A and B are shown apart, each in its own frame.
Chain A
Amino acid sequence: MLSRRIRFNAAWRVLLIVIWLWAVEWPAAPLVTIGLPQPVLTRNPKIGVHTRLTDEAAAWKVQRTLQMVREMGSPWIVEFFPWAYLEPGKNSFDWDHADQVIDHARAQGLTVIARLGLVPDWARPDPNERETTFNYLDADHYADFGDFVHAFVDRYKGRVQHIVIWNEPNLSFEWGMRPVDAKGYVDLLKIAYRRAKQADPNVIVLAGALAPTLEPIGSVAGLNDLIYLQQMYDAGAKDYFDGLAAHAYGLTAPMTEGPDPNRVNFRRVELLRQIMIDNGDAAKSVYITEAGWNDSPRWNMAVKSAKRIEYTLAAYDWAQQQDWIVMLTMWAFRYPHATRTYQDGWTWVTEDFQPKPIYTEVQKRFTPSNAP
């Protein structure tokens, strides 16, 4: 009798422990669901914003960011998909975060332009032999980047139709703190282009994402984007990209200020376009994947907030009228955390999702009055 009672008590306790473990360890249902597909209601189909979701861990914040982009009337986003995060070991991929961003973006009706770059440790020199930055990639590893591009395009075939190869390669910082090298970039572009097309012949490969700068030949900081683009053509880039990605920052100049080779302003992008025409590449389009004005009182390259709104609205209007521009992206929709510096003067929405006046004014201008 006694032994039976002991066995019963033991069994009962084991059962309780199992129930407790089940309750504690059983994976919780996702708090955020993708939801039904939504359309972007807009009067200007060329509006885009650059999101900063790479460091955004919370799924609800990813979703809320992209909802707000849609509600503003922007059908495009540009987002960074770092190679170093997605392929932390050779042929070892972690797509979870990228899947989340792309699934939510598509559910919000947004077209994603994926910027690819940032070199993983395993594709860089041994730091004991040579310290390098995250943007350093030597020619021996161009094929590894090509493999990553192939894997990315293959995974998101039919979901991500545009990729940008690298970012601002005409700046030394973005080229691994080395002297910039247009021929080296074109060698990388050729490999990336071929591999992308092998994965999806319909993917649109964007080259450049050139930074607007006046740096002369020989500068340690970078190279004038106009010179660099010509050097790209000279190195045989023409057959290895489908469109040019360009950056068009206005700094203190108004949107209406015309292009001038000796000025960095918003419409400098027209000079890039002219170089494309001069090289027989007029059929290709330009995608402005970063642009904008900063309104921080702490930066001497910023403008007043009212001017930022005025120039931004005018820039979106202008882009809509240019048949050679596919879309215009403004930097940067929201940072995961406020920087408490002039960098916050680029954002459209605060870290706690409060819309800044620029957001509200763009929304008012470009969404139909009956849009949600």
Chain B
Amino acid sequence: MNRNTRYAILIVVTAFVVLWLVPDVVALINRKPDKAWARVRETGVMRFAIDPTYMPFDGLGSHNDFYGIDVDIANEIARRIGVRAEFIVAGYDSLYDVLEVGQADATISALIVNPIISYEWKYSTSYFDAGQVMIRPERFPQTTPVSIAVEYGSEGDAAARRMARRSDGINIVYFRSAQDALLAVANGEADEAIIDGVNAAQLLPKFPELQIADQVTHDPYAIAVWGDSTQLLTAINVALGEMQRDGTTQRITNEWMMK
């Protein structure tokens, strides 16, 4: 390899590296200060927006006492960051807007991640998946045709109808509630049930012979922050990661689901 060839390779590699780094450098230059994080550090308070109308995730007592899975998770995140959590009631339609105008630092309210708006708002890692799950007996004899129990009209019903359109041998059995669908599987009247993750977490402890066999769809719940709050989001993700690893998130979820 002569000198000119080596120079050419060097130039190409250098150009590639420079082009590779351009977006990061531009982002670094344009990075706006994380006002929410600065405020949290200065005041020692992290303000969570919450719509307290959805138990077991978000509730509000008669003495302005907030409770539920989201409240316990928010309190634990704040504790691990070294600050205190405060809760601000917001209507469901304004859970994102309060972040934009700085009335809250983060929103925790069983928010389903919406990729369409993630260019403006950022999401934490997910702490719960409310998507549809397939429930089967622990000892599941594979039979054909398969009968699937669902709550009539529900998203589980929609998922089962979708499966039936795509494969032969699926018989859908309709029930008035997710609990009735599980009961049918437990009694051997249906082979499987499709219900949502919240119902599954609440009802499965009553049916020890049943288990989640498959995740059919995903509806991940996450915490939202305003797009500039990159340092705050990192702190939340670090705390959430610790909580996932040491079982805190699962413990909080289980406690509320079984109440």
Residues of A participating in the B interface, judged by any CB pair closer than 8 Å: 295, 297-300, 304-306, 308-309, 337-342, 350, 354-358, 360-361
Contacts and interface: CB of A to CB of B under 8 A. Distances in A.
Contact of A356 (B54, B113, B151, B158): B158
B206 interface: no
Contacts of B162: 354
B31 to A, nearest CB: 27
A305 B151 CA distance: 9
30 contacts: A297-B54, A297-B196, A297-B198, A298-B54, A298-B92, A304-B153, A305-B151, A305-B152, A305-B153, A305-B155, A305-B157, A306-B152, A306-B176, A308-B153, A309-B152, A309-B153, A337-B116, A338-B114, A338-B116, A339-B114, A340-B113, A341-B114, A342-B92, A354-B158, A355-B161, A357-B153, A357-B154, A357-B157, A358-B153, A361-B153
Contacts of A299: 92
Contacts of B114: 338-341
Interface in B136-185: 151-155, 157-158, 161-162, 176
Contact of A306 (B110, B153, B219): B153
- What 6 A-B pairs have minimum CB-CB distances, sorted nearest first? A305-B153, A340-B114, A340-B112, A306-B153, A306-B152, A357-B153
A306 B151 contact: yes
A354 B158 CA distance: 8
A341 B176 CA distance: 24
Contacts of B158: 350, 354-357
A298 B152 contact: no
Nearest to A339: B114
B254 interface: no
B69 to A, nearest CB: 14
A23 to B, nearest CB: 29
B53 interface: yes
Interface residues of B, number: 23
Contact of B154 (A305, A339, A342, A350): A305
Contacts of A305: 151-155, 157
Interface string B242-259: 000000000000000000
A298 to B, nearest CB: 6
Contacts of B92: 298-299, 341-342
Interface in B94-144: 110-114, 116
Contacts of B161: 355, 357, 360
A298 B92 CA distance: 9
Contact of B110 (A298, A354, A356, A361): A298
A219 to B, nearest CB: 18
Nearest to A354: B162
Contacts of A298: 54, 92, 110
Interface of B: 53-54, 92-93, 110-114, 116, 151-155, 157-158, 161-162, 176, 196, 198, 219
A224 to B, nearest CB: 22
A306 to B, nearest CB: 4
Contacts of A306: 151-154, 176
Nearest to B219: A340
Nearest to A361: B153
A14 B185 CA distance: 73
Contacts of A309: 152-153
Contact of A341 (B112, B154, B157): B112
Nearest to A336: B116
B200 to A, nearest CB: 14
A51 B173 CA distance: 31
A354 to B, nearest CB: 6
Contacts of B113: 340
Contacts of A300: 53
Contacts of B176: 306
Nearest to A309: B153
Given A308-B153, A340-B113, A341-B92, 12 more contacts: A305-B151, A306-B153, A341-B112, A341-B114, A354-B158, A355-B158, A355-B161, A357-B152, A357-B157, A357-B161, A360-B161, A361-B153
A313 B172 CA distance: 21
A298 B91 CA distance: 12
A337, A340, A354, A355: residue with the most chain B Cβ atoms closer than 10 Å: A340
Nearest to A298: B54
A297, A308, A360: residue with the most chain B Cβ atoms closer than 10 Å: A297
Contacts of A337: 116
Contacts of A304: 153
Contacts of A342: 92
A186 to B, nearest CB: 31
Contacts of B53: 300
Contacts of A355: 158, 161
B53, B116, B153: residue with the most chain A Cβ atoms closer than 10 Å: B153
Given A342-B92, A354-B162, A295 B112 contact: no
B144 to A, nearest CB: 24
B120 to A, nearest CB: 14
Nearest to A351: B116
A124 to B, nearest CB: 23
